[in-house]
Amino acid sequence: MSYLTEEEARKQVCPLMTYCVNEIDVSQWGKTPIMVNQNCQASACKMAWRWNYNSPPPGAMKGYCGIAGRPT
């Protein structure tokens, strides 16, 4: 894992943003669920996004998913 820009992060699948739908893309009881993943929300994430304040220029700020741990 490495530090990512927001644009790079938004292309990653978030393990926390998973929900179940049925074959017509609607959540319903009694139907076989299909697991659906959504992409990372980057700085809009209320749970895990952390900024790396040691990043180079302000326009190139990078961060990481705090759930996955700090990059080495």
Q: Does this model's pTM top 0.85?
A: no
Residue 8 scores a pLDDT above 90: yes
pLDDT in tens, 9-48: 999 988 777 766 655 656 556 666 666 678 888 999 888 8
DSSP label of 53: T
Model confidence over 32-42: pLDDT tens digits? 666 667 888 89
Give the number of residues written for the chain. 72
Residue 69 φ then ψ, to 5°: 95, 160
The residues, any chain, with a CB within 8 Å of residue 13's CB and separated by 6 or more, are 37, 38, 39, 40
pLDDT given for residue 29 in this prediction: 62
Beta pairing class for 49-52 and 34-39: unpaired
